[in-house]
A and B are shown apart, each in its own frame.
Chain A
Amino acid sequence: MNYIGEHLLPGQLGHFFAVLSLVASLVATIAYFKANKTALPDEKQSWLRLARMAFLTETISVLSIFLILYFLISNHYHEYYYAWDHSSRSLQQQYLLASFWEGQEGSFMLWSFWHCVLGWVFTWRVKKWEAPVLTVISFAQFCIATMLVGIYFFDTKVGSNPFILFRDQMGNMPLFANPDYLSFPRIKEGNDLNSLLQNYWMVIHPPVLFLGFASTIIPFGFAYAGLLNKDHSWTKPAISWACFSGAVLGTGIMMGAAWAYESLSFGGYWAWDPVENASLVPWLILIAGLHMNLIYKSTGYSLKSTYIFYIFSFSMVLYSTFLTRSGILGDTSVHAFTGADMTTQLVLFFLVFFVPVLILFFVRRKSIPTIRKEESSYSREFWMFIGSLVLFLSAIIIIAKTSTPVFNKIFETNIAPPEDPKFAHNQVQIFIAIIIGILTAVTQYLKYKDTPKGYFIKKIWLPTLIAVVCSGLISAFGNIDYTEKGIGYLVAIHVAIFASVYGIVANASYVWIVLKGKLKVAGPSVAHIGFALFLFGVLISSSKKEVLSENTTGINLFQKTKDQDPAENITLFKGIKTDMGKYDVTYLRDTANDFDRKKYFELKFESKDGINNFYLYPDVLQNNKGQEGFSANPDKKHYLDRDIFAYVTTWSGMAAKDDTASFRAAFIKAGDSTYYSNGIIILNKVQINPENFKHPVNAGETPVILDMTVIAKDGRKYPVQPGFAINMKDSTIRNLPDTVIAQSLILRFNKITDETTGAMQIGIKETQNLNDLMTLKVYQFPWIGVVWIGVIIMVIGLLMSMVQRIKKSKLSVA
Chain B
Amino acid sequence: MKKMHIVALVLIAVAIAVLISFMGDVTTYDTIAVARQKPGKAVTLVARVDKSQPMEYDPVKNPNYLSFTALDTLGNSIKVVYHNAKPTDMEKSERIVLKGSVQNNEFECKDILLKCPSKYKDDKNATQKNLNASYEYIDSAKS
Contact between B135 and A184 (Cβ–Cβ < 8 Å)? yes
Contact between B8 and A419 (Cβ–Cβ < 8 Å)? no
Contact between B27 and A631 (Cβ–Cβ < 8 Å)? no
- What is the CB-to-nearest-CB distance from A370 to chain B, in angstroms, rounded to a whole number? 11
Residues of A within 8 A of B28 (CB): 414-416
If A331-B46, A374-B3 touch, whether A569 touches B63 (CB-CB below 8 Å) is yes
Residues of B within 8 A of A568 (CB): 64, 84-85
- What is the CB-to-nearest-CB distance from A129 to chain B, in angstroms, rounded to a whole number? 30
Chain B 16-29: CB-based contact to A (< 8 A → 1; otherwise 0): 00110011011111
Q: State which of A331, A337, A414, A571 has its C-beta within 8 Å of the C-beta of B120.
A: A337
Tell me the nearest residue of chain B to A302, going by C-beta: B4
A645 within 8 A of B: no
A623 within 8 A of B: yes
Query: CA of A194 to CA of B126 in the docked complex: distance in angstroms?
Result: 15
Tell me the nearest residue of chain B to A187, going by C-beta: B131
Contact between A186 and B15 (Cβ–Cβ < 8 Å)? no
B132 within 8 A of A: yes
A574 within 8 A of B: no
Residues of B within 8 A of A334 (CB): 113, 119
- What is the CB-to-nearest-CB distance from A799 to chain B, in angstroms, rounded to a whole number? 30
Query: CA of A266 to CA of B123 in the docked complex: distance in angstroms?
Result: 24
**What count of chain B residues pass the 8 Å CB interface test?**
68
Chain A 554-566: CB-based contact to B (< 8 A → 1; otherwise 0): 0111100101011
- What is the CB-to-nearest-CB distance from B53 to chain A, in angstroms, rounded to a whole number? 16
25 A–B pairs (Cβ distance < 8 Å), ordered by A? A102-B120, A169-B124, A173-B128, A191-B122, A330-B115, A334-B119, A335-B120, A338-B118, A338-B119, A375-B4, A414-B28, A415-B26, A416-B27, A416-B29, A418-B26, A418-B42, A568-B84, A569-B64, A570-B63, A626-B126, A649-B85, A650-B85, A650-B88, A654-B88, A773-B60
- What is the CB-to-nearest-CB distance from B59 to chain A, in angstroms, rounded to a whole number? 5
If A397-B19, A557-B62, A571-B60 touch, whether A775 touches B85 (CB-CB below 8 Å) is yes
Contact between A732 and B142 (Cβ–Cβ < 8 Å)? yes
B33 within 8 A of A: no
Contact between B108 and A170 (Cβ–Cβ < 8 Å)? no
If A174-B135, A336-B119 touch, whether A424 touches B25 (CB-CB below 8 Å) is yes
Most chain-A Cβ atoms within 10 A of its Cβ — which of B4, B22, B63? B63
5 A-B pairs besides A173-B131, A375-B2, A555-B60 with CB distance below 8 A are A184-B135, A419-B100, A567-B83, A626-B123, A630-B89
Q: Which of A388-396, A634-642, A676-684, A759-767 contacts B (4 or more CB under 8 A)?
A: A388-396
Contact between A418 and B123 (Cβ–Cβ < 8 Å)? no
Query: CA of A570 to CA of B63 in the docked complex: distance in angstroms?
Result: 6
Query: CA of A417 to CA of B27 in the docked complex: distance in angstroms?
Result: 6
Binding site for B on A (CB under 8 A): 85, 102-104, 169-170, 173-175, 184-187, 191, 194, 197, 330-332, 334-339, 374-375, 377, 382, 385-386, 389-390, 393, 396-397, 400-401, 404, 414-420, 424, 428, 551, 555-558, 561, 563, 565-571, 623, 625-632, 649-650, 652, 654, 658, 730-733, 773-775, 777
- What is the CB-to-nearest-CB distance from A169 to chain B, in angstroms, rounded to a whole number? 8
B38 within 8 A of A: no
Q: State which of B2, B84, B119, B134 has its C-beta within 8 Å of the C-beta of A569.
A: B84
Query: CA of A104 to CA of B46 in the docked complex: distance in angstroms?
Result: 27
Most chain-A Cβ atoms within 10 A of its Cβ — which of B11, B120, B136? B120
If A336-B119, A375-B4 touch, whether A627 touches B92 (CB-CB below 8 Å) is yes
Query: CA of A773 to CA of B18 in the docked complex: distance in angstroms?
Result: 47
Query: CA of A565 to CA of B43 in the docked complex: distance in angstroms?
Result: 18
Contact between A650 and B15 (Cβ–Cβ < 8 Å)? no
- What is the CB-to-nearest-CB distance from B55 to chain A, in angstroms, rounded to a whole number? 11
Contact between A377 and B3 (Cβ–Cβ < 8 Å)? yes
Tell me the nearest residue of chain B to A624, going by C-beta: B122
Closest 5 CB pairs of A and B: A416-B44, A649-B85, A629-B89, A775-B63, A569-B63
Residues of A within 8 A of B29 (CB): 331, 414-416
Query: CA of A556 to CA of B138 in the docked complex: distance in angstroms?
Result: 48
If A174-B132, A397-B18, A649-B63 touch, whether A404 touches B138 (CB-CB below 8 Å) is no
Residues of B within 8 A of A416 (CB): 26-29, 43-44, 99
Residues of B within 8 A of A389 (CB): 8, 11
Query: CA of A400 to CA of B23 in the docked complex: distance in angstroms?
Result: 11
Residues of B within 8 A of A571 (CB): 59-60, 63
B74 within 8 A of A: no
Tell me the nearest residue of chain A to B30, going by C-beta: A414
- What is the CB-to-nearest-CB distance from A687 to chain B, in angstroms, rounded to a whole number? 22
Residues of B within 8 A of A386 (CB): 7, 11
Contact between A626 and B86 (Cβ–Cβ < 8 Å)? no
Query: CA of A416 to CA of B28 in the docked complex: distance in angstroms?
Result: 5
Most chain-A Cβ atoms within 10 A of its Cβ — which of B46, B88, B119, B126? B88
Contact between B88 and A555 (Cβ–Cβ < 8 Å)? no
Q: State which of B110, B117, B119 has its C-beta within 8 Å of the C-beta of A419.
A: B110
Tell me the nearest residue of chain A to B27, going by C-beta: A416
Contact between B92 and A339 (Cβ–Cβ < 8 Å)? no
Residues of B within 8 A of A731 (CB): 142
Q: State which of A385, A418, A730 has its C-beta within 8 Å of the C-beta of B27.
A: A418
B68 within 8 A of A: no
- What is the CB-to-nearest-CB distance from B66 to chain A, in angstroms, rounded to a whole number? 10
Tell me the nearest residue of chain B to A553, going by C-beta: B63
Residues of A within 8 A of B126 (CB): 626
Query: CA of A565 to CA of B84 in the docked complex: distance in angstroms?
Result: 8
Tell me the nearest residue of chain B to A774, going by C-beta: B59
- What is the CB-to-nearest-CB distance from A382 to chain B, in angstroms, rounded to a whole number? 7
Interface residues in B28-44 (C-beta closer than 8 Å to A): 28-30, 42-44
Most chain-A Cβ atoms within 10 A of its Cβ — which of B46, B62, B84, B110? B62
Residues of B within 8 A of A335 (CB): 119-120
Contact between B15 and A393 (Cβ–Cβ < 8 Å)? yes
B73 within 8 A of A: no
Residues of B within 8 A of A377 (CB): 3
Query: CA of A374 to CA of B92 in the docked complex: distance in angstroms?
Result: 63
Tell me the nearest residue of chain A to B135, going by C-beta: A175
Most chain-B Cβ atoms within 10 A of its Cβ — which of A184, A338, A382? A338
